[in-house]
Amino acid sequence: MAATVFIDGEAGTTGLGIRERLLAVPGIEIRSIDPDKRKDPQARKALMAEVDAVVLCLPDDAAKESVALAAELGAKAPRILDASTAHRVAAGWTYGFAELAPEQTDAVRNATHVANPGCYPTGGIALLRPLVDAGIMPADFPVTVNAVSGYSGGGKSMIEAYEAGAAPSFELYGLGLEHKHLPELQRYSNLTRRPIFVPSVGNFRQGMLVSVPLHLDMLVGAPKSRDLEEALVERYRGFDLVRVVTLAEGNLAAGRIEAESLNDTDLLELRVYGNDARGQAVLVAKLDNLGKGASGAAVQNLKLMLGVA
């Protein structure tokens, strides 16, 4: 029997991406609500009672309301995957980055409430957490994370502005240093010091680069860039969707990287660009902000939660 899924908010960018991917997954059946009843709490609650899992593709406040509705069902409550920011650092929720740590895949598989990661933190955490866990980076290290995303991650108004030619070619934002992704970036990187995070958006639809510059002599034992690379390789060994591109492969020599080559995939690529003579390195993560950064991660988590290969 197929597992049943209700996407609450399936008309948005992330919801549409999840729906499209799920249609290609055997063993999952999507249940949809009548468009006229999308904002009817009782109709949504009734559908929740009929499915195995609910995916929330909603603004934070609406996501919290949906969780409360599901809780009213008691033993009939479905498992919940929340794609909003609302529950990423909340008690009782499992963070849905399956490659976060060796035990995280099983944690997602067994959880009733999973918070899908943000796109920027997916790249940042993937680069930082292995170095902290390996003792190479102190937990109180003064981290700076820079990132650029395609405009599709900015919501309806930003998408419309770019597609109408009314938006700038490139802009920094979040310069009040209170971006909503900061709490999860800090917590799941195992950092005790709040990082500085500077996001930006470019005039391309999708694709993302997340970079972390480092002075190697400020890290424990003054490692070489190869040591950082090896720590990443060791952490992600055996994971199909996270790949460390190494210097030995000859792909780093050009010293350049573009953001869009992983578009329409669910992959995450990590690289270490280093200049050991100068004692400096830059860690870089590349992903599709709509793939591993959103809908792709959601489907990966759903398949784990529902036991679907």
Which among 90, 93, 89 has a CA at the least distance from the CA of 80?
93
Contact 208, 147 (CB under 8 A): yes
Instruction: Please say if 119 is a catalytic residue.
Output: yes
Give the CA distances from residue 29 to residues 4, 23, 50, 80, 97, in Å, rounded to whole numbers and listed in that order: 5, 8, 12, 16, 24
| 163, two tokens | 């597609």
From 57, 119, 148, 216, active-site residue: 119
> How is residue 76 annotated by DSSP?
G
Number of Cβ within a 10 Å radius of residue 261? 12
Residue 29 identity: E
Number of Cβ within a 10 Å radius of residue 61? 10
Beta bridge partners of 79: 53
Residue 266 identity: D
Catalytic site residues?
A: 119
